[in-house]
Amino acid sequence: MFDDDNEPKFFSERPEWEDVVPLEQYENMAPLAPIMYTPEYKDATNYFRAIAKSGEKSARVLELTEAVIRMNPGHYSAWQYRYETLLATSSSLTTELALMDELAVKYLKSYQVWHHRRLLQTLIRKPVPELAFITRSLAEDSKNYHTWSYRQWLLGYFNDENELWTGELDFVDEILAKDVRNNSAWHHRYFVVWASGVRDGDQDRERVLRRELTFVKQSISLAPNNASAWNYLRGVLQSQKIPFETLAAFVKPYSELFDPSVTDIIDVDNPRPSSTAQLPCAAAIEFLADVYEEQSKEEGERGAEGRLKAIELWKSLANEHDTIRKNYWEYRIREILAANKPKA
Amino acid sequence: MTTARLPAFLRAGHVSHCKRCLTGLPSSQMDHDGGRLGIGFYCLGTMDLLGSLQDQPEFDRESWKEWLWDQQTHGECGSGFRPSPFMTANHSEDEIIECTKYDSPHVIMTYTAILSLAMLRDDFTKLDRAGLTTLLRSCQREDGSFSTVPGGGETDLRTLYCAFAISSMLNDWSGIDVDRALRFVASCKSYEGGYGQSSFCEAHGGITYIALASIYLAPTHLSAKYLPTLTEREQTIRWLLSNQFQSGGFCGRTNKVADSCYCFWCGASLKILGASEFFDATAMASFLATCQFKFGGISKHPGEHPDPYHTYLSIAALSINPPSLDPLDPNSETWKLEPLDPLLNAKLSTAAWIRKHVPAASD
C-alpha cells in the first residue's frame, strides 16, 4: 500500500490521518550529531510520535510503522510498537512474515528485522518453511552473521522437531561445496554434529567421528590453506579428546614441499595434497608442532626428539612461513625450553 | 625489537572528521537515528584519545554536556540515557515530559553516555545512580542475557557487556545477577576459541572482546569459576592471533577480510589475556595507516569512506597496542597516544575520572 502511486507521499496529506495531530521531534539548541532527516521521514515520525502517545493500535498504524521502518530499519521503537499492534489487532502473522521475507533481505544487517522475525516465529511455530527462507537469504550474503544466528536459534528453539533437523547436514554440504572457506558453514556443521545433541541416525558416535574426519581431510586436500577446516579439525579432536598424533600421518605431507616421487596410491584415510597445492601449509606445520610438543612431555629419547622437532617447526613458522606471528612462535619455543629444563 | 617507519598519523584530520560529524550527519545516516548518542561517543572519544577534547571551546564542551544530560530519562523501569530525542515530542524547556515505554533508556546508550560525560570531565552530580541499577535489573532476562531496552529489544552479549561496564563504573553490582550473566557468557564460547553473540553462534572478534572484558570486569569473587582455564586461554589466544593477516590488519571471523575495527576488538582481547606481545603491533599500525582518508577519518578497508566508528576504534587499537617506531623518524611523534584501559575502553585518565566521580560518594 505504501508504494501505491495514488497515495499522497506524506501522511499529513492523507485524509484518513486528519484526526491525528502530528508531534514534531524535540531538539534543544545545540544537538549532538543531528541527522538531516528527509521530509518523508520527518512526516512519518511526526505521526508515529503522536500514535505512540495516544496508544492507538490499528490497521493504519501498521501502515505507518512500515513506512518508518522502510526509511530506518534500526528504529527499534517502531518495531516494538508494530509488534504490539499486530497482537492487539489480531492481524495475520503469516502476512507479516511474508512482508519480513522482503525486509529481511533488504535490511540484512539490521538487528531488529531478525529480532522481529524471532518474535513472530515463537507465535506462529512453523519453523520448517523458515529453512527455505534462510537459504534464500544466504544466497544474498552467504556469511551474514544475523542470518546464521537466526538459523541456529530456530533449530535450537524447535529442538524436538525432527523434520526441521533432517536435512541440515546436506544443507551445510551444499554451502561448503560452493565455498569450502565459508567459516559460518563450518561453524554450523560443528553446531549440528557436535553441539546440539545427538540426532536420529547419529547415535553411533564412532561412525559420526569417522565421517567427520573423512570430510575434513578431504576438504583440506582440496584446499590446504583453509583455516576454517583446520579449526574444525582441531575443535573436533579437542572436544572428543582424541590426540592430535593420530592425524600426524595425514598432516605431514601438507607440512612439506610437494613430493612428486611419492606414487599416487589412493589412500582414503590420508588423502594427499594435489601437485598444484601451495605448500608447505602453515596450519599443517603448526598442527605437527603441536603433536611434537605433546611428545616432548614423554621421558627419554622420544621426549627429546619431540622437543627438537617442535622447535624446528616453530622456527620455520617464525622465520619463513608465518612471519606475522613471529613473536608468538618464539614464545612457544621459549615455553617448551622452560618446561624441559634439565632438573638440577 | 624491530622498529619501522610509517607515514604520518593524520591527527588533525581525524579530529576534524569527527567534529564535522558532531555538527551534522547526512540523511544517508537516518538508520542511525536510534543510536545517535553512540555516534557522538565515537566522535568525542576520538578527540579524547588524540588529546584535543580539552582544547575545544568551552561553549561547545558545555553544550555537548547539556545535550548528553538531556538524554537521561526516568521511567517506571529505571533511568538511563536514550539514543536521542527521536521519540520525544517537542515541548518547552521547563515542561517535564514523562518518559514513555517507547522513549525509554537504552543500556548501550547509557554506557556510551557515561563515558562521553567523563571525557568532558563532568562531575556526575546529575546522575540518577539508583535509577541505573533499576534499569539493569529490568533488562536482565531469565537466561542471564540483557535486552537493550526494558521489556523489549534484541538481546546479545553487547548489551551484557554494557550492563557490566555500568555496574563497574558505579562500583555497584546490585543491579545484576552476575553469576547468571557469566553462565550465559560461557554458553557463547565456540570451538574455535572465540565467543559468539548468543549460545551456538560463530566466533566473532567483537563479541570475544565483549565476553572477555565482561569476565574480567566482574568482581573477582563472582568471576573466579568463570575465568578461562590455561588451555582455554591458549586456545583463545591462538584464534585471536590467527585473525591477523600478513598486511597487519585483523579480521573478525575466520576467513573474512581485514577490517580496521578488529584491530581494536582482537588487539584489546589479546591485551586482556596478557598476550599483546605475541602479535605484530607495528604491522597493525601500518595497515591502519592505509585506512586513513587523506582529509581525515579512518575507514573499514583501505580506500573506503571513513566513519567515526572505525576512526575511534582504530585509534583505540593503537592506544592499547602501540607500534615500535624508529625514534629518528619525524612521523613517529604523530603516532604517540595515551594508553587505554582495555576493560572500559577509555583513556587511562578518563577511566580514572570515572572511578573517582561515577560511584556514589561514600560518607
pLDDT tens digits, one per residue of B189-240: 999 999 999 999 999 999 999 999 999 999 999 999 999 999 999 999 999 9
Q: Partners of B250 in the beta sheet?
A: B244
ipTM of the modeled complex: 0.95
| Closest chain B C-alpha to A323 CA, distance in angstroms | 8
**pLDDT value of position B93:** 72
Query: Is A108 inside a domain boundary?
Result: no
Judge contact between A17 and A60, C-beta under 8 A.
Answer: yes
Query: Is B45 inside a domain boundary?
Result: yes
Which of A68, A91, A114 is where one domain is finished?
A: A91
Chain B: residue whose CA lies nearest to A37:
B27
**pLDDT value of position A201:** 83
CB–CB contact A33 B22 (8 Å): yes
CB–CB contact B30 A38 (8 Å): yes
pLDDT tens digits, one per residue of B102-121: 889 999 999 999 999 999 99
**pLDDT value of position A142:** 96
* Cell numbers representing residue B329 in the block: 623518524
- Tell the residue number behind the cell numbers 517537542, with chain if given: B90
**pLDDT value of position B98:** 67
Cα A60 from Cα A66, distance rounded (Å): 10
Residues of B in contact with A238 (CB under 8 A): 191, 235
Q: How far is the CA of A288 from the CAs of A11, A246, A301, A315, B259, in angstroms?
A: 67, 11, 18, 13, 30
- Report helix, strand or coil for A174: helix
Chain A: residue whose CA lies nearest to B2:
A327
Residues 6+ apart with CB under 8 A from B225: none
Identity of residue B15: V
Judge contact between B290 and B7, C-beta under 8 A.
Answer: no
User: Concatenated DSSP letters for A12-55?
Assistant: GG-GGGTT----PBP--SS-SS-B---HHHHHHHHHHHHHHHHT
Is residue B361 over pLDDT 90?
A: no
**pLDDT value of position B353:** 98
Chain B: residue whose CA lies nearest to A196:
B200
Residues 6+ apart with CB under 8 A from A112: A69, A73, A74, A75, A76, A79, B154
Query: Is A336 inside a domain boundary?
Result: yes
Query: Is B363 inside a domain boundary?
Result: no
Query: Is B286 inside a domain boundary?
Result: yes
pLDDT, block means (10 residues), chain A with 344 residues: 67 96 88 95 98 96 97 95 97 96 89 94 96 93 96 94 92 97 98 90 92 97 97 97 97 91 76 91 98 96 96 98 97 93 57
Question: Which chain B residues in 266-285 lie under 8 Å from chain A, judged by CB atoms?
Answer: 277-280, 283
Query: Is B30 inside a domain boundary?
Result: no
- HSE-up of A295 (CA within 13 Å, CB side)? 21
CB–CB contact A25 B278 (8 Å): no
Number of domains observed in the structure of chain A = 2
On whether any CB of chain B is under 8 Å from the CB of A149, the answer is yes
> Closest partner residue to A81 among B22, B102, B197, by Cβ?
B102
Q: State the Cα torsion A9-A14-A18-A19 to the nearest 10°.
A: -90
The alpha carbon of residue A310 and the mean position of all alpha carbons in its chain are separated, in whole angstroms, by: 33
Which of A91, A112, A144 is where one domain is finished?
A: A91
Average pLDDT over residues B282-310: 97
> Closest partner residue to A36 among B25, B32, B37, by Cβ?
B25
> Closest partner residue to A115 among B88, B154, B244, by Cβ?
B154
Cα B40 from Cα B32, distance rounded (Å): 11
pTM: 0.96
CB–CB contact A32 B67 (8 Å): yes
Nearest of B82, B15, B13, B78 to residue B48 by alpha carbon: B15
Cα B54 from Cα B57, distance rounded (Å): 8
Angle B313-B196-B297 from CA coordinates, rounded to 5°: 15
On whether any CB of chain B is under 8 Å from the CB of A2, the answer is no
Query: Is B4 inside a domain boundary?
Result: no
Quick check: bond before A280 cis, omega within 30?
A: yes
Identity of residue A276: T
Domain that holds residue A78: 1-91
Query: Is B5 inside a domain boundary?
Result: no
Beta-carbon pairs below 8 A across chains A and B: 200
Q: What is the CATH number of the domain that holds B291?
A: 1.50.10.20
Query: Is A151 inside a domain boundary?
Result: no
Average pLDDT over residues B32-61: 96
What mean pLDDT is reported for chain A?
93
Query: Is A215 inside a domain boundary?
Result: no
**pLDDT value of position B97:** 66
Question: Which chain B residues in 175-214 lie under 8 Å from chain A, judged by CB atoms?
Answer: 190-192, 196-204
Cα A114 from Cα A126, distance rounded (Å): 16
Which of A91, A119, A143 is where one domain is finished?
A: A91
pLDDT tens digits, one per residue of A154-170: 999 999 888 999 999 99
On whether any CB of chain A is under 8 Å from the CB of B30, the answer is yes
Query: Is A219 inside a domain boundary?
Result: no
* Cell numbers representing residue B275 in the block: 598476550
Question: Which chain B residues in 129-158 lie under 8 Å from chain A, judged by CB atoms?
Answer: 148-149, 152-154, 156
Query: Is A21 inside a domain boundary?
Result: yes
The helix (H) or strand (E) run that includes residue A71 is helix A59-71
Q: Which residue has the higher pLDDT, B156 or B26?
A: B26
| Closest chain A C-alpha to B215 CA, distance in angstroms | 23
Report, as residue numbers or ranges, the catalytic residues of A.
109
- The counts of H helices and E strands in chain B are 14, 6
Q: Partners of B199 in the beta sheet?
A: none
On whether any CB of chain B is under 8 Å from the CB of A52, the answer is yes
The alpha carbon of residue A205 and the mean position of all alpha carbons in its chain are separated, in whole angstroms, by: 25
Chain A: residue whose CA lies nearest to B189:
A195
- Tell the residue number behind the cell numbers 622437543, with chain if given: A307
- Tell the residue number behind the cell numbers 605433546, with chain if given: A294
Chain A: residue whose CA lies nearest to B102:
A77
Question: Which chain A residues in 269-328 lie under 8 Å from chain B, judged by CB atoms?
Answer: 323-328
Identity of residue A186: W
Helices B36-49 + B58-70 axis angle, to 10: 150
Query: Is A268 inside a domain boundary?
Result: yes
Number of domains observed in the structure of chain B = 1
Domain that holds residue B271: 11-22+35-88+100-357
Identity of residue B224: A
Cα B256 from Cα A196, distance rounded (Å): 25
Question: Which chain A residues in 168-207 lie under 8 Å from chain B, judged by CB atoms?
Answer: 181-184, 186-188, 190-191, 194-196
